[in-house]
Amino acid sequence: MKTERLKTDILIIGGGTAGCYAALTISENSDAKVLICEKAHIKRSGCLAAGVNALNAYIVEGKTPQDYVDYAKKDADNIVREDLLLTMSERLNAVTKRLEQLGLVILKDKNGRYVTRGNRNLKINGENIKPILANAVKKLPNIDVLNRVNITDFFVKNNRINGAFGFGIEDETFYIIEANAVIVATGGAAGLYKPNNPGFSRHKMWYPPFNTGAGYAMGIKAGAEMTTFEMRFIALRCKDTIAPTGTLAQGVGAKQINSLGEVYEEKYGITTSQRVYGTVNENQQGRGPCYLQTEGITAEQDNSLKKAYLNMAPSQTLKWIESGKNPSEQNVEIEGTEPYIVGGHTASGYWVDTKRATTVKGLFAAGDVAGGCPQKYVTGALAEGEIAALSAINFVNENNSVPIDEALIEEHIEEAERFLTDNNSHFTTEQLEEAMQTVMDSYAGGIKTNYRFNEKQLDIADEKIVDILKLSENLYAEDFQELMYIYELRERLIVCRSVIAHLKARKETRWHSFAENLDYPDKDDKNFLKYVNSRYQDGKIRIILRDLVEGGTVYEHSY
Amino acid sequence: MSIAIDKDKCIGCGKCHTVCPGSLIKIGEDKKAFIKYPKDCWGCTSCIKECPVYAIKFYLGADIGGMGTFAHTEKDGYILKWIFEHPNGENSEIEINQKESNKY
């Protein structure tokens, strides 16, 4: 097998929203050499491939960053890091301005001020947002991009990162990358649970199916502390196309109604999890299906909606066309997705300090992979990319790089080579993926059980996921793309185990649907106004309950 | 949701292969693009926007309401034109000015 050794100052893993912006920030603020490793191609990789409907995190006139903190804190019923939310919120407007300078179209009024949508949103044309970011990165001289290189493991010794291991899926080469600092920006995890349509359209999901939790899994394996994996994200979406509903709700004021035509959202509350829970309940009580009420909107609104969806989720426009009816003629059916782990919407991810430093020295996290700071959306991911980048610059200025342990390199190469040579598995990667999704769906609160679970079920889930992990050791890959699929499956299995452990540890129900434990159906403020954190040590997930970081205080690591 | 690539139109430029965020499109020995893992398509339509000869079209699977309409885009300056080819042989279009923001 071909092996290539590279050396850089700062390695960025994942060339999506946060990763690209981190690279831009480093280039503008230092001479450090940067290498981005991206498993697809940065032009359209990550969450923004099809575009995005709006900038959902912006401090509008008359509001302050603290208002944004308060909103996110309320939505997550207190389980957030206010220090992280505030440091993010303070940067939202500056990164928005920068995006506009790079070429993003943002709607303005005749006085040149941004037109806002509600309290926190800006209207944009986000179809080309990712090519805009990628082009900006391409122009910079001190940034190298390795496309189609899939990173699978960190090199960590004595809790200090010194690089990463991965492989090129096209050049069929193992990469050993030595780096003084690493920014992990691999996004969250999709594909843990059985999706809404598990057949031909299994990948028509909300979150990118190619975000398989690599960053979480690498961190877990390296012993990094993780937080709040039990706060799963379930999106309320247009049925089948899994297209955003916010454009309908906020854009044309469509209300959530049941099949009797009753508006039900007030009955359950309007936080993100309550909107999902309400829809699940209405269906369970025989009042489904549920809809967003678009009937009666104007022809002009029809046209604008069809265009807006083409700019972010073209399948929804195609669905209207296929049905022969415009949104004004039929309400849009809605459903909850399968659960995801995604730190850009909920608080799951690396336990970081305000510098976005993880508990592994030299490793920084930004975007969906970083925990404690929900409701980031695009601009929040940019803000965190910026913070992580500035912290990584400081780090490389103050620390010398450490060579990678040769024994570790051998270990990783041997593991990958084994998948490529030993062909004695009874199962394919696809079969084990299906097995994993079935287990999570049935026993860890998937769509099948209306997102609900009990402890007994969680125990069964963990036992079965461990079995599948064992089976996955014998998988065989014909080529490097299949090798990537094996690693992606194993990443997700590792994340599944952490999700199960976290769901079990929060012995209360703070968020319906997101973490609805039938053994503990009520909220328990006395014992669980806490973060549920974990560390993987000696093959076991150790749970750590941490006190909340209150407003006005900050948490910093002491290594 | 997936895509269909018209081999007769494909010129083998490889742009779709490069851009696919799932690395699902490959170039065959005949130097034509093909989607190797059709069930794994996210439906982002990145490849469709790249194709210089409009050889790639996207469609909804029957399991999510597909009725046989195929869509592709053609770009003229800032105008991104979406063309829908309906099963009855008729076409319809939606034009988007990329300099204009979404209304909602």
The domains of chain A, with CATH numbers, are 236-336 (3.90.700.10), 413-524 (1.20.58.100)
State the ipTM, two decimals. 0.96
Across the A:B interface, residue pairs with CB atoms under 8 Å apart total 168
8 Å CB contact of A308 and B63: no
Do the Cβ atoms of A542 and A534 come closer than 8 Å? yes
Interface test with B, best of A47, A121, A123, A201 (most B CBs within 10 A): A201
Question: What is the torsion angle, in degrees rounded to the nearest 10, for the CA atoms of residue A86, residue A88, residue A89 and residue A93?
Answer: 150
Report DSSP letters for A145-192, one per residue: EEETEEEEEEEEETTEEEEEEEEETTT-EEEEEEEEEEEE----B-SS
Distance CA A256, CA A440 (A): 28
Do the Cβ atoms of B87 and B68 come closer than 8 Å? yes
Instruction: Specify the DSSP class assigned to residue A112.
Output: S
How close does chain B come to A179, measured CA to CA in Å?
A: 26
Specify the pLDDT at position B1. 59
Distance CA A102, CA A456 (A): 52
**What residues of A are in contact with residue B84 (Cβ under 8 Å)?**
318, 321
How close does chain A come to B1, measured CA to CA in Å?
A: 6
What element of type H or E holds A356? none
How close does chain B come to A459, measured CA to CA in Å?
A: 31
Of B20, B60, B98, the CB nearest to A105: B98
**What residues of A are in contact with residue B1 (Cβ under 8 Å)?**
201, 203-204, 241, 315
**What residues of B are in contact with residue A306 (Cβ under 8 Å)?**
94
Question: What is the torsion angle, in degrees rounded to the nearest 10, for the CA atoms of residue A80, residue A86, residue A88 and residue A93?
Answer: 140
Q: In which order are the strands placed within the sheet that holds B2-5?
A: B2-5, B56-59, B70-76, B79-85, B91-97
State the sign of the Cα–Cα–Cα–Cα dihedral A136, A392, A45, A50.
negative
Distance CA A510, CA A110 (A): 45
Q: In A223-345, which residue ranges form alpha helices assigned H by DSSP?
A: 246, 265-268, 272-284, 299-310, 314-323
Q: Which of B50, B52, B60, B55 is nearest to B34 (CA)?
A: B55
Q: Quote the mean pLDDT of chain A.
A: 96
Residues 6 or more apart whose CB falls under 8 angstroms from that of A489 comprise A212, A429, A432, A433, A436, A472, A475
Nearest 5°: CA angle at B54, between B50 and B57? Answer: 90
Specify the pLDDT at position A132. 98
Do the Cβ atoms of A492 and A339 come closer than 8 Å? no
Write down the architecture of domain B2-97 according to CATH: 2-Layer Sandwich (3.30)
Do the Cβ atoms of A535 and A223 come closer than 8 Å? yes
Residue of B nearest to A201 (CA): B1
Q: In chain B, which residue ranges form alpha helices assigned H by DSSP?
A: 15-19, 46-50
Specify the pLDDT at position A546. 98
Tokens describing residue A16: 């999506």
State the SS3 of A461-496. HHHHHHHHHHHHCCCCCCCHHHHHHHHHHHHHHHHH
Place of tokens 């709700």: A249
Q: For residue A200, how many other CB atoms are within 10 A of its CB?
A: 18
The series of mean pLDDT values per 10 residues for chain A, 559 residues long, is 96 98 98 98 96 94 97 97 98 98 95 91 94 96 96 97 98 98 98 97 96 98 98 97 91 94 92 94 97 97 95 95 96 98 98 98 98 98 98 97 94 97 95 98 98 98 98 97 98 98 98 98 98 95 97 92
Distance CA A419, CA A397 (A): 39
**What residues of A are in contact with residue B22 (Cβ under 8 Å)?**
40, 203, 209-210
What element of type H or E holds A557? none
Of A41, A148, A315, the CB nearest to B60: A315
Q: In A38-165, which residue ranges form alpha helices assigned H by DSSP?
A: 65-75, 82-89, 92-102, 129-138
Specify the pLDDT at position A559. 75
Taking any CB pair shorter than 8 Å as contact, residues of chain B touching chain A are: 1-2, 18-23, 38-46, 58-67, 69, 71, 80, 82, 84, 86, 92, 94, 96, 98-104
Interface test with B, best of A310, A333, A481 (most B CBs within 10 A): A310
Residues 6 or more apart whose CB falls under 8 angstroms from that of A192 comprise A213, A338, A339, A340, A341, A436, A437, A440, A492, A495, A496, A499
8 Å CB contact of B102 and A311: yes
8 Å CB contact of B22 and A40: yes
Specify the pLDDT at position A441. 98
8 Å CB contact of B102 and A315: no
Q: In A425-554, which residue ranges form alpha helices assigned H by DSSP?
A: 429-443, 455-472, 480-505, 525-528
Q: Which of A179, A128, A104, A133 is nearest to A25 (CA)?
A: A133
Specify the pLDDT at position A65. 98
8 Å CB contact of B39 and A204: no
